[in-house]
Amino acid sequence: MTKKKHAFKFPLLLACLLALASCSSSKEETEAAMAEAEQLEAELAEVNELLQTTQSERDQLVEDLAQIAGERDKAESELAAVTASLEMLQNQVAQLTRQRNASLAEARNAQATVQTLRGQLKEKDKEIQEYEQWSGELQATIVVLQEQLEQASQELLEGSYEESDEQTGEDVTSDDSG
C-alpha cells in the first residue's frame, strides 16, 4: 500500500476508536483505546519509516542495477573489441608464420643451390687449373717444337749449303734470290 492509503486509514481508525469509546465506554476503556491508538500510530510510523527505507533501498538497488547493466554492456562491448583484435592478431600471426615457413623453405633452397654452385665452382676451378696446366705444357711443347723446327730448319739449310757447295761449288743463296 502507498503512504497516502496508510495516512488515510489512521485518522479513520482513530475516529472510530474515539466514537466507540465515547458511546458506551468508561474512562478506562477510552484511555485503553487511546493508548492502543497511540501504539497503532507508533507502529504505523515505524511501518512508514520501514516502507520509506525499503523504497529508498529499492530505488538505490534499481539505480545500482542500471549502473551494473551499463557497466556490463560496456564490458561486453570492450570484450567484443578485444576478441576482434585477438582474432586479427591471430590471423596476422598465422600469416607471419606462413611467410616465415615459406622464407625458411626458400632459404633452405637457396642454401642448397649455393652448395651445388660451390661444388660446381670447385669442379670448374679444377678444370681451369687442368686446362692452365695443359696450356702451359702445350706452350712448352710448342716452344720446344719451334726450337726443334728452327734447329731442323737451320740444319737443313746448312746441310743444303754444304751439299750445294760440295756438288757444284756454288753458293745456294744465289739460287734462292732468283
Position 170 in a domain: no
The total number of structural domains in the chain stands at 1
Position 174 in a domain: no
Structural domain including 7 reads 3-161
pLDDT over threshold 60, residue 49: yes
Could you tell me the pTM of the whole model?
Answer: 0.42
Position 86 in a domain: yes
8 A C-beta contact, residue 51 and residue 42: no
The three-point CA angle 23-25-26 to 5° equals 135
Position 175 in a domain: no
Position 147 in a domain: yes
**Is residue 25 left, alpha or beta, with left meaning phi > 0 and alpha meaning psi from -120 to 50?**
beta
Position 95 in a domain: yes
pLDDT over threshold 90, residue 7: no
Position 166 in a domain: no
Provide the pLDDT for residue 141. Answer: 92
Position 178 in a domain: no
Range of lowest pLDDT (11-15, 63-67, 135-139, 156-160) = 11-15
